[in-house]
Chains A and B, each alone.
Chain A
């Protein structure tokens, strides 16, 4: 259905918008005002997307119906990786990049290499559906 999901996000977004309005016109402080407007959009954008999706799909997912049985959800849920080394490689790449910010830009060379190999590896893994 996604209706309740969208209502939650829209409620939060609209509330942040109201708060942004009150704060900006009462407090005349830009930093907080800008951040609250950002929060408004972070609520509205996904909220409106989910609302559009609900209207388009007709809202009949088994997980949204009170009377759905377990059998209604039969079938493939999705494809889940059971193991993958690439998140570890990517994490080490990001770690090396942060160390490059502290100890010297030369560390960015192995950092970029690790990140690129992880991105390629994870993409190939997803496409082939097997261990790369």
Chain B
């Protein structure tokens, strides 16, 4: 079925008034009476349904990838552990990295919450290409199944690391269906990402509401625009590389094989030309989420809106010039070029951290779970970012390459992103479901996650500096590494417990629901103007858009530009929950 959708033409909700934060226009004019149950899941092209599908699937993937991590950490508790065989260990770390990067962080970031929020934040009825959007999800789901299918074939899943370096991936070194399933899974999820990127850019360029100029868009939407552009720049390169790899394995080409004149190093160039922009494809959405959350719980407008936008664009520009800092030790790359570019990219990232702190500075801070997760994100990302600056220096990288120092560095980064993900979940869960998540459980989850992350990563830096290489299942000749490894495993266990607490929280919040209302946080972006959850095509009315905070302007007509800690908002649902 197709619907001709008209824009809402009124600025006045059906009920409530501008003085009410929770203006509660729970009309059902926009309700859609389509299929329900499994048929709804199979046929919906609504960006909200697809966004929820993406989010739930990616969280399931996080649990699966996390379970692999727990087994890895259990293996490393003892220098001579025999919990898994060496080959099983190779498979575990390969699938842990692959599931987490390709199937959790990325899809959650650029297709889960983004799918749900971007049309709402720009005042659009849906994504620009709803059926393409649905196809993205099906390719992502089938790609995930393809990856997991590796465990059920003879020889097991891929075992060459999530980066799939040649020649480990050749038909001789990695025979069997597991490696091919890994390649197929990445092709499917790669196309899924490309289609999501197309949809994000088209939606933001063509479906904004009147008055929603580019420089009035929420920072989350800005970051999703830049993420979409980076996806289109990076993912086709990876997909092309995978096709070449498949041809090497099955059609007798020698693109990455020395026999026949191929160049194994070319794979690293191709992989990291995707892989490093991918780091920002993963990070920018979470930067955006945190940038939405910190001003709301600081009761201040964002400090440095335009600085944030230009920092994001600068990160995008530089991100294509840093790929070979992963290849310093190959001895075959231009060290000064990649070192300079990698050091430069710290500048816009530093501007962002400065602006987040500037937003909190002098604000009236409210430490909800979403805010705690956001602050945890900033702190942990700072650790990951600064250790990244060390690694941008070739002499230091020569010393630490392929050690646990690098592992700890990128786990600081991705665990920060995970905190950003949970910040986003806690912040937008009321909008998506109409119910609040329980703050008490949320705070327990935050502290176990935050402490667990530091207990997991910080000993990793030390054991890396002591020389422990990555991807070792046993270390019988270096028993002195054991204590630090055991601390890391304790941290991993705490992180696992924090995930369980989240599941408990979701269940508890469904069993004893607390109704959220339309705008429980007194937030300012457009998604908080519509009902929770929003009707089928999102809006029955829109407020005038005169700044980057249209809902704040609408709800606080007497203080449109205020909010510098001088304003006392009405009690919000969040405060009611605590009371």
Contact = CB atoms under 8 A, between A and B. Distances in A.
Contact of B337 (A12, A26, A42, A67): A26
Interface string A1-26: 01011001101100110010011001
Given A91-B141, A102-B184, A70 B333 contact: no
A16 B320 contact: yes
Nearest to B122: A63
B211 A39 contact: no
A3 B323 CA distance: 31
A95 B146 contact: yes
Interface string B539-568: 000111110000000000000000000000
A105 B141 CA distance: 22
Contacts of B273: 32, 35
A117 B170 CA distance: 36
A102 B237 contact: no
A36 interface: yes
B316 A70 contact: no
A130 B316 CA distance: 41
Interface string A80-102: 11111111101110110011011
B464 interface: no
B211 A27 contact: no
B7 A91 contact: no
B42 interface: yes
A69 B4 contact: no
Q: Which of B183, B207, B209 has the most CB of A within 10 A?
A: B209
B509 interface: no
A71 to B, nearest CB: 5
B6 A77 contact: yes
Contacts of A27: 333-334, 337
A131 B209 contact: no
Contact of A76 (B6, B126, B141): B6
Given A76-B4, A87-B134, A99 B210 contact: no
A43 to B, nearest CB: 8
Q: Is the interface of B mostly helix, strand, loop or mixed?
A: helix
A117 B120 CA distance: 33
B208 A63 contact: yes
B306 interface: no
Contacts of A69: 11, 210-211, 544
A113 interface: no
B187 interface: yes
A82 B1 contact: yes
A84 B43 contact: yes
B537 A80 contact: yes
B8 A70 contact: yes
B337 A102 contact: no
B139 A94 contact: yes
Nearest to A15: B317
B232 interface: yes
Contact of A85 (B11, B43, B126, B537): B43
B146 A98 contact: yes
A126 interface: yes
B15 interface: no
A101 B131 contact: no
Nearest to B134: A87
Given A31-B266, A75-B6, A94-B142, A82 B45 contact: yes
Contacts of B191: 94
B16 to A, nearest CB: 17
A26 B334 contact: yes
Contacts of A92: 138, 142
A99 B320 contact: no
Given A15-B317, A31-B266, A91-B139, A83 B1 contact: yes
Contact of B188 (A4, A94, A129): A94
B211 A68 contact: yes
Q: Which of B134, B237, B546 has the most CB of A within 10 A?
A: B134
Interface string B166-193: 0000000000010011011101100100
Contact of A39 (B7, B138, B177, B320): B320
A73 B536 contact: no
Given A62-B211, A76-B5, A99 B146 contact: yes
A108 interface: no
A77 B9 contact: no
A31 B270 contact: yes
Contacts of B213: 4, 63-66
A78 B5 contact: yes
Contacts of A72: 210-211
A8 B323 CA distance: 22
Interface of B: 1-11, 32, 34-35, 40, 42-46, 124-126, 130-135, 137-139, 141-142, 145-146, 177, 180-181, 183-185, 187-188, 191, 205, 207-215, 225, 229, 232-233, 237, 246, 266, 269-270, 273, 313, 316-317, 320-321, 323-324, 333-334, 337, 341, 536-537, 542-546
Given A29-B333, A66-B546, A72-B210, 20 more contacts: A8-B229, A19-B320, A32-B269, A32-B324, A35-B269, A39-B233, A63-B208, A64-B214, A67-B211, A70-B10, A79-B5, A82-B2, A84-B43, A88-B138, A92-B138, A98-B188, A102-B180, A102-B184, A130-B1, A131-B1
25 contacts: A2-B205, A4-B214, A26-B337, A29-B269, A31-B269, A31-B270, A35-B237, A35-B273, A63-B210, A65-B210, A69-B11, A70-B10, A70-B210, A70-B544, A77-B207, A80-B3, A81-B3, A82-B1, A83-B43, A84-B1, A84-B130, A91-B142, A98-B184, A102-B177, A130-B2
Interface of A: 2, 4-5, 8-9, 11-12, 15-16, 19, 22-23, 26-27, 29, 31-32, 35-36, 38-39, 42, 50, 62-88, 90-92, 94-95, 98-99, 101-103, 122, 125-126, 129-131
